[in-house]
Amino acid sequence: MSEAIVEQIRTLIRGEQLRPGDRLPSERDLGERMGVSRVTVREALRVLEAGGLVEIRVGARGGAFVTTPTSAKIGGDLADLISLSPLTGTEVTEARQVFELGIVPMAVERATEQDIAELREMVKQHQSALKAGEYGMPMSAAFHVRVAACTHNAAIEMLVHSFHGPLLMSLREAQVTAPQMGHRGTTEHRDFVEALAARDALRAQDIMRAHLQRTARRVARTKGSRSRDDES
């Protein structure tokens, strides 16, 4: 079975006997080595590719290269999970609220001066973009991810990134950002950064809570949409 091959290679990768960047033998080689046909090997590789463990390049010197799964991959599956499971937008938003609110104290505690400087710069740019009518959800998402990065915890940053990343791509509806929302949103972003700079965890959390709750209400208003994710 090709499942066996998948598991075998998976184990090799997990055991670090295959490291990111390594190239697996060609499909023909693998097939011969494992005593299966090429088609079977290909199916195994497809699965690994779909799982984000391997990247396949064509042409000479091509083949399957070990990669480290990206948060985008996880985010994609998460998007599938959300858009296909009986999860409602409200539920997802709630989960996001809990998580993003929970990391605030950690962010406040661990943010470096550089973090703060970059956040301030980001807010400034976003306000400019807002005036130019170019402010949108991607920018808001970037801000939230940048805040998560202040925890200096890759796992947290990755999770928040997953929340904000491909998730949005799967939810095409209602991406329009009401202008006043954008204004209020960036204002809250600015206030949050200042609270963070002042190492005032409680105030930062209050601001973030209000910010996220506004989103939650917006999601709740959008009946019929299975999930939403924007607060501008």
The site for DNA (CB under 7 A) is made up of 1-3, 24, 26-29, 35-40, 42-43, 45, 56-64
How many whole angstroms separate alpha carbon 210 and alpha carbon 213?
5
List of residues contacting a second copy (CB under 8 A):
2, 10, 13-14, 20, 39, 42-43, 46-47, 49-53, 68-69, 71, 73-74, 77-78, 80-88, 91-92, 94-95, 98-99, 101-103, 106, 151, 153-156, 158-159, 170
**Shortest distance, position 9 Cβ to DNA, whole Å:** 13
224 binds, options a second copy, DNA, none, Cβ within 5 to 8 A by partner type: none
- Which helix or strand (DSSP H or E) is residue 66 part of? strand 63-66
Q: Pick between residue 72 and residue 142 the one whose CB is nearest to a second copy.
A: 72
Please give the distance of CA 47 from its chain centroid, rounded to a whole number. Answer: 22
36 binds, options DNA, a second copy, none, Cβ within 5 to 8 A by partner type: DNA
How many whole angstroms separate alpha carbon 104 and alpha carbon 156?
11
Which residues 6+ apart lie within 8 Å of 214 measured at CB? 181, 184, 185, 231
Q: Give 21's DSSP letter.
A: T
